[in-house]
């Protein structure tokens, strides 16, 4: 196993944080796309061929990801969700895709996705059936993992529908992790283990899974986004310790570009998922994504916060009824800060200082607004920083200490900052 | 009084539905803009001069309404809300605007608004104070109405904060209506009378008010939009009888272009307010409105449903947990239909027929999609009509009977329809 990890790490060009990952994968939160939130279990290929769960859908989305800026931004996993299967295993007990909707087979689909420089994810449930009643993996872990490896699968999302009880489910996830790590192929393991039972041991889960869903599914509503943010805030003390390189949270999908979030709200979700140390899987129709949503999910400065190599989860450090502040430690003793409004009336002015935020460098910080993409100036510990936060909106800043700025850690803002 | 009504009707060029209006105004639902939802009681002119409640704000918004397509679409009232006043009446007991924020005075502001071909609305409360604690109208109805008329005010929005009890409040609204109708000036009366106490007599209210708020304030959230829609559906039997030319519902402001509605949801609110027979008052920053929101609120085919001269309130005729259908009678035996999804997952296909919708013309209807702005064809009573409705979205159609189409009632779609 060690040689496989070493090999995959070499392929990835990774030399640090090896200890933190059981399989060398997900050293930063995985980035990709998954069909579920937007396309669900749409089987109506006869009347809705563009949007049904089929090889066409995944191939088209992979093409967009590869050619319209997503791949360059870091998105690499193209993930199938439920409903890809035939309703029965074959004579040898192997899973097979629905022959009508996936006529070319999954090995061919994986080859195509790989030819674009991307990776293919698949879905299964640690139980007798998937949530939509397709065959589950119970009793078939070895043969299914072998099949995935033969097809060239790069990620398995493991649900928990129709599981056989807590003990068997836990055993299954551990066995699955072992099987994936012995499959001869680096396969990222995205688990819903944590959400199936209350009070799980997240630190144990992180030993076996590269990401873990702790909550029920997201839906296309702002209320659900808010309730997920609240859950992560309420559990941040435990999750802060459990997550990091190799094992990240999963707040479920980014719904920017679906139907229910305003541009303001879509910015907020994207920023908050970044702070929550969540994997970032889009689930909208990228073929027709509006420019505002695309600009949000491709924002390089926000994505840099998500992909920060420290892998530290952000934490809510301040909470009022309609306003909160989150901070996240970044490499180079820098910090990301999200000012998040839950107001429903009008934009409000908010003020703080580096000292109030708890940032320790006594010489002060250079501050940049990451969505506005402009420098806000240099702030000694007690200098007032004012931001206007829109209802249901965020302002995201990055604070870089003066000492690091001088050493060149501030990237392309060096010059303007050193002037201050 | 009769001569005044006759004069104002002549000015308006109105000859029908006179009986339905006590003052000849609001023969279709009033269209305009009001500052409250977006700008609230922002008094910070020193630090936020563009957005504080001041003559600058109303003059700038009037200019946009007059020059950027809103006036042509029918929007005519530019309405101040709370916080325009000085904190005390003058030595003669007259209201006065805050001298620092309205240095030119309201007569000058009204003159400017009139010079743009628009009308100016003002706010007051039927009580001791306004909601934000500025002077209320209690005990001052005659002098205040005289002041409004001298300034050239065209609409009064009457709130109910700090009122002196149900009896005195009702008496005040009736006296106010009388005073306005004897002011020597046509002044539209927009009342919150109905919402102050449960179980009001809407038919009585409609005798005195040109529009009536029945509900609490809207906020910048989709949930609040949904709850307002539900209230109107639950009370549609009573409101259908009470509303019509001269007295319309008030669902509070259109929030398209604020911060919390997606484009899909903004379309839905606009369509539903039209069906609910509500006045249509925008409350967003029109100076910076995004093109999607602007296209919604200027959609001529939806506005035509709002401004239909029959003035019949639409009704919810079908309800499932996440889907409903509303219909509204229009002139020429036509109907508007809104298919409204409350789904939070994916777009769903919905089918119906003219017969199922209850439309009586046995020869069938020509059907047009008003947001897509395309004809869908001709539908005999049992021909299936399929529409795809997005989560939190609407499809709005207009069904025009064949007989009327032949007589030329279908406007610019005559030719294509007659072919069918």
pLDDT digits (tens, 9 = 90+) for A53-71: 999 999 999 999 999 999 9
To the nearest whole Å, the CA of A305 is away from the closest chain B CA by: 24
Task: Tell if the CB–CB gap between A260 and B259 is shorter than 8 Å.
Answer: no
B283 touches chain A (CB under 8 A): no
Closest CB to B344: pick one of A260, A265, A349.
A260
Dig out the tokens for B179 from the structure: 């005073």
**Domain termination site, one of A306, A330, A355:** A306
Asked if B274 contacts B280 with a C-beta cutoff of 8 angstroms, the reply is yes
To the nearest whole Å, the CA of A207 is away from the closest chain B CA by: 33
A159 is catalytic: yes
B264 contacts in chain A (CB < 8 Å): 259-260
Alpha helices in B276-401 (DSSP H): 291-297, 300-306, 354-357
Task: Tell if the CB–CB gap between A346 and B223 is shorter than 8 Å.
Answer: no
Chain B: residue whose CA lies nearest to A348: B42
Residue-level pLDDT at B161:
97
Residue-level pLDDT at A296:
98
Selected residue with higher pLDDT from B8 and A119: A119
Task: Tell if the CB–CB gap between A391 and B222 is shorter than 8 Å.
Answer: no
One domain for residues A300 and A321: no
Instruction: Among A125-134, A389-398, B190-199, B397-406, name the one with the lowest average pLDDT.
Output: B397-406
Active-site pick, A81, A159, A252, A258: A159
Q: Cα separations (Å) of B314 from B32, B330, B350?
A: 21, 10, 20
For chain A, give the mean pLDDT: 92
One domain for residues B141 and B239: yes
Asked if B282 contacts B252 with a C-beta cutoff of 8 angstroms, the reply is no
Residue-level pLDDT at A403:
75
pLDDT per residue as tens digits for the range A231-265: 999 999 999 999 999 999 999 999 999 999 999 99
Residue-level pLDDT at A64:
99
One domain for residues A289 and A355: no
One domain for residues A202 and A103: yes
Selected residue with higher pLDDT from A411 and A171: A171
Q: How many domains does chain B have?
A: 2
Closest to A144 measured CA to CA, from A91, A83, A94? A94
Asked if A119 contacts A158 with a C-beta cutoff of 8 angstroms, the reply is no
Selected residue with higher pLDDT from A403 and A90: A90
B98 is catalytic: no
Task: Tell if the CB–CB gap between B392 and A39 is shorter than 8 Å.
Answer: no
Chain A: residue whose CA lies nearest to B262: A262
DSSP 3-state of A124:
strand
A259 touches chain B (CB under 8 A): yes
One domain for residues B274 and B321: no
User: Structural domain of residue B390, as residue ranges?
Assistant: 315-419
pLDDT of residue A414 exceeding 70, the answer is no
Residues of chain B with pLDDT under 70: 1-20, 404-420
A46 touches chain B (CB under 8 A): no
Strand partners, B258: none
Asked if A296 contacts A270 with a C-beta cutoff of 8 angstroms, the reply is yes
Residues B107-132 as b/e (b if ≥16 CB within 10 A, e otherwise) read eebbebbeebebbbbbbbbbbebbbb
A346 contacts in chain B (CB < 8 Å): 38-40, 42
One domain for residues A75 and A98: yes
pLDDT of residue A392 exceeding 90, the answer is yes
To the nearest whole Å, the CA of B295 is away from the closest chain A CA by: 16
Residues with Cβ within 8 Å of B191's Cβ and at least 6 positions away in sequence, in order, are B158, B173, B205, B208, B209, B211, B212, B213
**Domain termination site, one of B306, B337, B355:** B306
Q: Domain containing B387 — which CATH number?
A: 2.60.40.1180
One domain for residues B20 and B158: yes
> Any idea of the CA torsion for B206, B211, B215, B217, to the nearest 10 degrees?
-160
B262 touches chain A (CB under 8 A): yes
Asked if A232 contacts A249 with a C-beta cutoff of 8 angstroms, the reply is yes
One domain for residues B148 and B276: yes
Chain A window 331-350: which residues touch B at a Cβ cutoff of 8 Å?
A: 344-347, 349
Alpha helices in B128-197 (DSSP H): 141-151, 166-181, 193-196
Residue-level pLDDT at A402:
86
One domain for residues B21 and B151: yes
To the nearest whole Å, the CA of A387 is away from the closest chain B CA by: 13
**Domain termination site, one of B306, B340, B360:** B306
One domain for residues B239 and B332: no
One domain for residues B291 and B322: no
Task: Tell if the CB–CB gap between A259 and B390 is shorter than 8 Å.
Answer: yes
One domain for residues A337 and A264: no
pLDDT of residue A194 exceeding 50, the answer is yes
pLDDT of residue A17 exceeding 80, the answer is no
Residue-level pLDDT at A191:
97
Task: Tell if the CB–CB gap between B260 and A42 is shorter than 8 Å.
Answer: no
B262 contacts in chain A (CB < 8 Å): 259-262, 265
Q: Domain containing B260 — which CATH number?
A: 3.20.20.70
Asked if A153 contacts A106 with a C-beta cutoff of 8 angstroms, the reply is yes
Chain A: residue whose CA lies nearest to B219: A344
Taking the C-alpha atoms of residue A301 and residue A314, their distance in angstroms, rounded to an integer, is: 16
Selected residue with higher pLDDT from A2 and A242: A242
- What is the average per-residue pLDDT within A86-104? 98
Chain B: residue whose CA lies nearest to A292: B290
Residue-level pLDDT at B415:
34
pLDDT of residue A5 exceeding 70, the answer is no
pLDDT of residue A19 exceeding 70, the answer is no
């Amino acid at each position: 196993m060690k040689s496989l990890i070493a090999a995959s790490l070499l392929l990835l060009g990774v030399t640090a944080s090896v200890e933190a990952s059981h399989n060398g994968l997900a050293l930063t939160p995985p980035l990709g796309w998954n069909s579920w939130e937007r396309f669900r279990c749409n089987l109506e290929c006869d009347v809705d061929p563009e949007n049904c769960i089929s090889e066409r859908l995944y191939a088209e989305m992979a093409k967009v990801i590869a050619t319209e800026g997503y791949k360059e931004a870091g998105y690499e996993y193209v993930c199938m969700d439920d409903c890809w299967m035939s309703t029965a295993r074959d004579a040898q007990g192997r899973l097979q895709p629905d022959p009508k909707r996936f006529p070319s087979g999954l090995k061919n689909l994986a080859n195509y996705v790989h030819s674009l420089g991307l990776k293919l994810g698949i879905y299964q449930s640690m139980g007798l059936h998937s949530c939509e009643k397709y065959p589950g993996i119970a009793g078939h872990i070895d043969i299914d993992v072998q099949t995935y490896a033969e097809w060239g699968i790069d990620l398995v999302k493991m649900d928990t529908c129709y599981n056989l009880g807590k003990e068997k489910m836990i055993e299954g996830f551990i066995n699955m992790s072992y099987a994936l790590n012995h499959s001869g192929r680096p396969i990222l393991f995205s688990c819903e283990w944590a959400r199936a039972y209350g009070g799980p041991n997240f630190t144990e889960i992180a030993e076996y899974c590269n990401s873990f869903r702790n909550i029920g599914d997201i839906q296309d509503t702002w209320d659900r986004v808010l309730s997920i943010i609240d859950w992560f805030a309420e559990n941040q003390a435990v999750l802060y310790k459990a997550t990091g390189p190799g094992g990240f949270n999963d707040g479920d999908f980014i719904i920017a570009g679906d139907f229910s979030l305003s541009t303001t709200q879509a910015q907020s979700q994207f920023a908050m998922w970044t702070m929550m140390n969540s994997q970032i899987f889009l689930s909208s129709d990228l073929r027709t994504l509006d420019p505002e949503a695309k600009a949000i999910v491709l924002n390089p400065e926000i994505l840099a916060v998500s992909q920060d190599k420290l892998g530290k989860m952000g934490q809510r450090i301040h909470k009022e009824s309609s306003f909160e502040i989150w901070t996240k430690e970044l490499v180079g003793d820098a910090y990301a800060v999200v000012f998040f409004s839950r107001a429903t009336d009008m934009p409000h002015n908010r003020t703080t200082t580096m000292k109030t935020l708890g940032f320790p460098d006594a010489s002060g910080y250079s501050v940049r607004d990451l969505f506005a993409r402009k420098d806000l100036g240099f702030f000694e510990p007690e200098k007032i920083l004012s931001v206007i936060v829109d209802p249901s909106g965020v302002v995201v800043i990055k604070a870089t200490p003066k000492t690091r700025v001088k050493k060149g850690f501030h990237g392309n803002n060096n010059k303007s900052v050193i002037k201050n």
